[in-house]
Amino acid sequence: MDLNLKPAETFRGDFSVRNSDAAILRFPFPFHEDRYMYAVNIEPHMRGGPTAAYDAIFDLDEHYIGECEDRALTLLDDPLRCQVLPHMMDAEWDTLELLMESLALDYPAQFTLTKNDASWHWVNRPLGLDQHFTFGDPASLPCPPFEYITRQVQGDFTLQDQRENNLFMDGGMVTSQADWSLNFDLGMSFHEWHGPVPVAHETGVFDRALAYLLRLQLGRPVRRLNWTLTANPRLDTSPENYPIWGPDKAGITPENVGTKMCLRVELQTLTRLPRSNAILFGIRGYLIRLEELVRVKKWGRRLHRVLRDLHPDIAAYKGTLPYRHIIVDYLSAFDDGAVTSAGTSPDQDLL
């Protein structure tokens, strides 16, 4: 797969990150119709989908170097953003193997993995890494295996240990989360981690989701999409740094909403791991400024309609209430009332 890497841009401070035309067209737009309702939207995770973001097992894009650098900065400031409980070492190696094999397969120009029994050789050209190590021996890597490899992949990851008919979030690399704390949630069971969602028709949804995931099969990963709105293309919107990003929202005005307000989409994958029998939960986040998104005509129309007609309870849950009218007013200029096609594809090859 082609990977046109940009030099590092920033996801904090001056927010220099911009999406190229290609990045805009491959964005995993989440709305397949002109309205949004909660739904069980799990599907098999196979290569291919409405945009190029679905083509790889673990998708990388032009922001790879910038996102890895942002992660490194976050970890320097707070090492507790990456923690794995001691009994999950098998799952750490499972993850390292899965991610290295996937990256080497999908992006051979950038990554090479050579194995000689337990002697492995990993080359990551974009980050300038050349590492010989012994698979299974943590001392042969500069840091624990899960941290080592997730520092080199875009998106957050958590490790779920399956025991007692439940899933426990017993490890994670979480530096681009939508406002939840790994340090606080580490060790929580499935229901504790998700918490009771205050929407009546959600009753039983987490029970069903858990039962489904307990039977997730090796070799049959699944995926789903989640979305929120974020002020500024900031990756680290953690509770820990809430004093830093909390004030961002207040600075949204009709003049800057197109530039500053971003649609944030998580392409979530769930993969059964072989040795540990644990589940790897990948949370691959994509940020797009509203002014970038509306260049895809269909998406501009659709997003306007979805947010305009959003159920107030859902709007409150998504944290969009305070400035929803500013966003909807801005988007209305890009909605000429034309019919939009079903599905999430952009319906145009050029912007």
**Residues with active-site annotation:** 224
Chain length of the chain: 351
Of residues 115-154, those binding other proteins (CB under 8 A): none
Binding characters for other proteins, 36-75, by CB under 8 A (x = yes): ----------------------------------------
Q: Any contact of residue 226 with other proteins (CB under 8 A)?
A: no
- Cβ at position 260, least distance to other proteins in Å: 15
Question: Buried (b) or exposed (e) across 242-265, using 16+ Cβ within 10 A?
Answer: eeebeebbeebeeeebbebbbbbb
Task: Supply φ then ψ for residue 72, to 5 degrees.
Answer: -60, -40
Please, which residue, 12 or 26, has the CB nearer to other proteins? 12
Sole residue written with tokens 């000429």: 336
Q: Does 217 bind other proteins (CB under 8 A)?
A: yes
Q: Does the footprint of other proteins cover residue 280 (CB under 8 A)?
A: no
Q: Which long-range contacts (CB under 8 A, 24 or more apart) does 114-118 make?
A: none
Q: Which stretch binds other proteins (CB under 8 A): 39-47, 63-71, 80-88, 299-307?
A: 80-88
Smaller CB distance to other proteins: residue 70 or 161?
161
Q: Of 138, 143, 179, 177, give the one whose Cα is nearest residue 158.
A: 177
Judged by CB, which is closer to other proteins: 192, or 329?
Answer: 192
Burial pattern 57-69, b for ≥16 Cβ within 10 A else e, equals bbbbbbbbebbbe
Which residues between 174 and 203 bind other proteins (CB under 8 A)? Answer: 179-181, 183-188, 191-197
Site string for other proteins, 94-113 (x = CB under 8 A): ---x----------------
163 touching other proteins, by CB under 8 A: yes
Place of tokens 């083509």: 55
Looking at 186-323, list the stretches that DSSP marks H as alpha helix, in order from N- to C-terminal side: 190-194, 205-214, 242-245, 257-260, 290-293, 297-308, 312-317
* Interface residues toward other proteins, by CB under 8 A: 80, 87-88, 90, 97, 161-164, 179-181, 183-188, 191-197, 211, 215, 217-219, 239-243, 246-247, 249-250, 274-277
